[in-house]
Amino acid sequence: MKYISYLIFFAFIAVLLFFLKNALEPKQEPVRILGSEMCNDCHGLQNMGDQKTPWKNSKHSGAYTVLFSAKAIDFNKANGLASPDKEEKCLKCHTTEFVLKGTEKSKSYNITEGVGCEGCHGAGSEYSPAEIMREESSFIRNGGVKGDEKTCLKCHNTKANKEKTLKDDACPFQETDFDYKTAFDKIKHPVSTELKNR
Ligand code: HEC
Ligand code: HEC
Ligand code: HEC
Ligand code: HEC
């Protein structure tokens, strides 16, 4: 009888410790993709320089939609692939979530954004508070990516795809060589100079 009450006592302590440990340990939330709309709550503002509009007007915001075009559908049919919007081999360069494969997604993220802000700047749940983003070093420490030529080469190839076949590092539809300077000029989205000189 005595033995059983000891057992119950220790079991009780064990359960107590388990709950205590869980309550005390800081919860490590996994990094999540927020979606461009969340970024644009701030980055769509005029006094920020408005990075939303250049992105909206760039092909990146239509990178998912273009997978529903006849040329995309025909290519996949002819090559025995799943339909482009379901085919991971296409999605990996045409959507934020597949270029950041394995990263959790917030409800605010929507695949239809195509290649969103986080497709280049990294998943934003940790770095998105403004006080973190104002400091370049804290932005980077919290998973932010500034972006450079290497960022682009995850999806663009320096050489045009003459064979027009699907390659691991080239779209069947990349018809021209990729040059960082000219390409970045087409998608640049600087913050306002007032903000810079603050
Ligand atoms: C390695 C990354 C990558 C892969 C894989 C990829 N794409 Fe692309 N796709 C791109 C890039 C980059 C462009 C823009 C090319 C340019 O304009 O120079 C593009 C452009 C396109 C376009 C627009 C072409 C036009 O003329 O406007 C279509 C359609 C397309 N891709 C469909 C597909 C389909 C379908 C697949 C899968 C079979 C696929 N892509 C796989 C990166 C990729
Ligand atoms: C709460 C407002 C807010 C939100 C939300 C926000 N940002 Fe920012 N972001 C800022 C501010 C403020 C700066 C600093 C601008 C400056 O002073 O140069 C900044 C700076 C940046 C920079 C430059 C960082 C550096 O130090 O060079 C990038 C890149 C960036 N944001 C991307 C994003 C992305 C991507 C998202 C969405 C995941 C996002 N931001 C969400 C307010 C915000
Ligand atoms: C996650 C993949 C991905 C990354 C990273 C990426 N792009 Fe793209 N880019 C695309 C896709 C896909 C298209 C074509 C979308 C369409 O035609 O609808 C495209 C189209 C473009 C276009 C329009 C085509 C043209 O030549 O006029 C430019 C410019 C461009 N990207 C520049 C860049 C630059 C500069 C970088 C790096 C800072 C970059 N991209 C990074 C996937 C990517
Ligand atoms: C195709 C890749 C790509 C996409 C998509 C993209 N950016 Fe950028 N972004 C870059 C690159 C590259 C730079 C320049 C980094 C440098 O040279 O310092 C940059 C710079 C910035 C800066 C700093 C500008 C400055 O003047 O210091 C901010 C803020 C920013 N991006 C926010 C955004 C937001 C918000 C979105 C979505 C609406 C977005 N970016 C989408 C690649 C991208």
Task: Please give the model's pTM, rounded to 2 decimal places.
Answer: 0.92
Atom of ligand 4 nearest to the CA of 55: 38
Query: CA 63, CA 96: separation in Å to the nearest integer?
Result: 10
Give the ligand with the smallest distance to the CA of 187: 3
**How crowded is residue 66: how many other Cβ atoms within 10 Å of its Cβ?**
15
Q: What would the two tokens of residue 56 be?
A: 């909206």
For the residues 6-11, what does the mean pLDDT come to? 69
Q: What would the two tokens of residue 72 be?
A: 């995309």
What are the tens digits of pLDDT across the range 51-89?
A: 999 999 999 999 999 999 999 999 999 999 999 999 999
**Burial class of residue 76 (count of CB atoms within 10 Å of its CB; 0-12, 13-18, 19+):** buried
Residue having the nearest C-alpha atom to atom 21 of ligand 1: 173
Residue having the nearest C-alpha atom to atom 6 of ligand 3: 152
Helices (H), the chain: 2-24, 36-43, 52-57, 70-78, 88-94, 96-99, 117-121, 130-133, 136-141, 149-152, 180-187, 193-197
For residue 81, the CA-to-ligand 3 centroid distance in Å is 23
List, in order of start, the domains of the chain with CATH numbers: 30-154 (1.10.1130.10)
Which of 109, 121, 197 to mutate for ligand 4's pocket (most ligand atoms within 8 Å of CB)? 121
Residue 194 is predicted with a pLDDT of 74
Q: Residue 123's Cα: distance from chain center in Å?
A: 5
Give the ligand with the smallest distance to the CA of 179: 3
Residue 12 is predicted with a pLDDT of 64
Give the ligand with the smallest distance to the CA of 118: 2
Average per-residue pLDDT for the chain: 92
